[in-house]
Amino acid sequence: MIDLDPAAFSLLPAGMINDGHVVAIVGDGTLESDLRKSSTQDAEVFVAVSGKDARNALSAQIAKHVLQVKTVICRVNDPASKEMYEQFGIVTVSATALVTDMILRAARS
Amino acid sequence: MYVVILGAGKVGFALACWLVASDHEVAVIDWDPSRCAALEDELGGISVVGDGTDAGVLARAGCNRADIFVGASGVDEDNLIACQLARHRFGALKTISLVNIPEHEALFALLGIDVTVNATDMIGGRLREELSGAAILDLGDMR
């Protein structure tokens, strides 16, 4: 798990880091060098779920096209951008689209 | 030629002025209303306030008829995403991006940006040139 903010890791459930379930790395996920420090190049799955679409999209593209990670999942809030990232081979998850979809389904039932 | 620029900071502002003076059509996108207002004082109504990584904002700036899109903001990921949307969603013919973090230069080229301008390395290189050309005073001699 990589995050710019060292304090962010304190939000994890107690023991996750100390028991070795999570390796916490303070770094910039939009830099290939920091992603390599987190051994992203050896990962089977890379997930970019920071709060900023553009940062997620840059991280995801480094993971996919430079570090050759097989499955890359990226959080994208702007539904209009989803299609482009999927063309780039990235799986996208949009909270906006998910919520809208759920509401529409509830409205129809 | 129609050019859409992301970022009304120093680079975007100067570029817009030059393009308008050279009779090109320009739109500039910036999230900061005060920077857009400053640009409009100089060049008239050519700015769009908003997030340039949002396809709706790019559409408002007329990206669908842009010949060239320039990512000139100080945030590399915004420049990249805006350039990619301009190319793939709106069909811009050429994308040019400012690169603020030198490590991103090769990456942007790999990800399809046509031209990258690595400001940090250019300035650093120019300064090194000046310093190596000048006789550098030995601090020991200043006592």
Q: Which of A84-94 are b and which e, b meaning 16 or more Cβ less than 10 Å from the residue's Cβ? A: bbeebebebbb
Contacts of A53 in chain B (CB under 8 A): 53, 81
- Nearest CB to A30 within list B54, B77, B85: B77
B122: left (phi over 0), alpha (psi -120 to 50) or beta: alpha
Instruction: Check CB contact under 8 Å for B75 and A30.
Output: no
The span from the CA of B8 to the CA of A94, in Å, is 29
**Cβ atoms within 10 Å, residue B112:** 15
Residues A40-70 pLDDT 10s: 999 999 999 998 999 999 999 999 999 999 9
How confident is the model at residue A92, as a pLDDT?
A: 95
Is residue A96 very low, low, confident or very high in pLDDT (cuts 50, 70, 90)? confident
CATH classification of the domain holding A41:
3.40.50.720
The span from the CA of B36 to the CA of B27, in Å, is 11
How confident is the model at residue B139, as a pLDDT?
A: 59
Helices A95-108 and A79-87 pack at an angle, to 10 degrees, of 120
Report the number of distinct structural domains present in chain A. 1
Question: Predicted ipTM?
Answer: 0.86
Instruction: Check CB contact under 8 Å for A58 and B56.
Output: no
Instruction: Check CB contact under 8 Å for B55 and A80.
Output: yes
Instruction: Check CB contact under 8 Å for A53 and B53.
Output: yes
Question: B2-120 has which CATH code?
Answer: 3.40.50.720
Q: Which domain holds residue A12?
A: 2-108
Question: Would an 8 Å CB–CB cutoff place B65 in contact with chain A?
Answer: no
More confident: A26 or B126: A26
How much is the average pLDDT of A81-93?
93
How confident is the model at residue B101, as a pLDDT?
A: 94
How confident is the model at residue B140, as a pLDDT?
A: 61
Structure tokens at B76: 């590399």
The total number of residues shown for chain A amounts to: 109
Beta strand extents in chain B (DSSP E only): 2-6, 25-30, 47-49, 68-71, 94-99, 115-118
Q: What is the mean pLDDT of each run of 10 residues along chain B (143 residues)?
A: 97 96 97 96 95 95 97 97 96 96 95 94 89 66 57
Contacts of A65 in chain B (CB under 8 A): 110-111
Mean pLDDT over each residue of chain A, to the nearest integer: 93
Chain B residue with minimal CA distance to A56? B77
3-state secondary structure of A34: helix
Q: Which of B73, B125, B123 is nearest to B99 (CA)?
A: B73
Domain boundaries, chain B: 2-120
Cβ pair B114, B89 in contact under 8 A? no
